[in-house]
Each structure stands twice: as structure tokens, then as C-alpha cells.
Amino acid sequence: MLHSILLMGGNPQQGGGTVQLFMMGAIILVFWFFMIRPQAKKAKEQKKFIDNLQKGDKIVTIAGIHATVNKVNEDGTLQIEVNPGSYLKIEKSAISQDWSAALNKPAAPAK
């Protein structure tokens, strides 16, 4: 009798593993779509922005220093002019794309 009760008390949810696998896949897909994809897109835009810097471009560093690009060096650095005659050598990665874009955005007309 005990043997037959144990056999009948098996797993009532047969096929539940498929649903769990599907849900796990859906969670991974949502995570990729909302977290990884936008971050990779932003990194690609930042790289394109840094690669296109030229002499005379107005920039803002991540430290908040406003400057003009004076020279693009081959070693991944920039020579920037902070004030007339004052130059700094910085890494290209120290430039804020968002702040530089805001600096170069045309001013909105006054109402």
C-alpha cells in the first residue's frame, strides 16, 4: 500500500521545466534589451565622437574643464588650450561627450 502511494504522489507538474526555461530566456532577453544594448550603443557613439575630434573643437572634460582642442596626438592624447597660451595634455577618454555636445549646441532663441 505504501509503495502505491509513493508512486501516485509523483510530480504533479510535468512539463513545468519548459515554462521555467522559457521564463528564464525571457528575463535574459529583457535584461539584454534594456541594459546591455543601450550601454553598448552609448560606448560606440563615445568612440566615434572621440575619433572625430579635430583641432579647434570646443570640449568639456569629465572633470568639467572647458577647453579647445589644439592638437590631436598619435598616442591617444590631446593637447588642449584652457586659456590663451595655457595648454594641457589629456587622455582622449577624459572627454565628456554629453557635456561637449551641450556646449556646442546652438543657443535657443530668446522669447
| 70-110 pLDDT per residue, tens | 999 989 899 999 999 999 999 998 998 888 888 777 755 65
Q: What cell does 76 get?
A: 591617444
Please state the domain extents for the chain.
17-52, 54-106
Cell numbers 569629465 correspond to 62
pLDDT score of 68: 93
| 39-81 pLDDT per residue, tens | 889 889 889 988 888 999 999 999 999 999 999 998 989 999 9
The fold of the 54-106 domain, in CATH, is SH3 type barrels. (2.30.30)
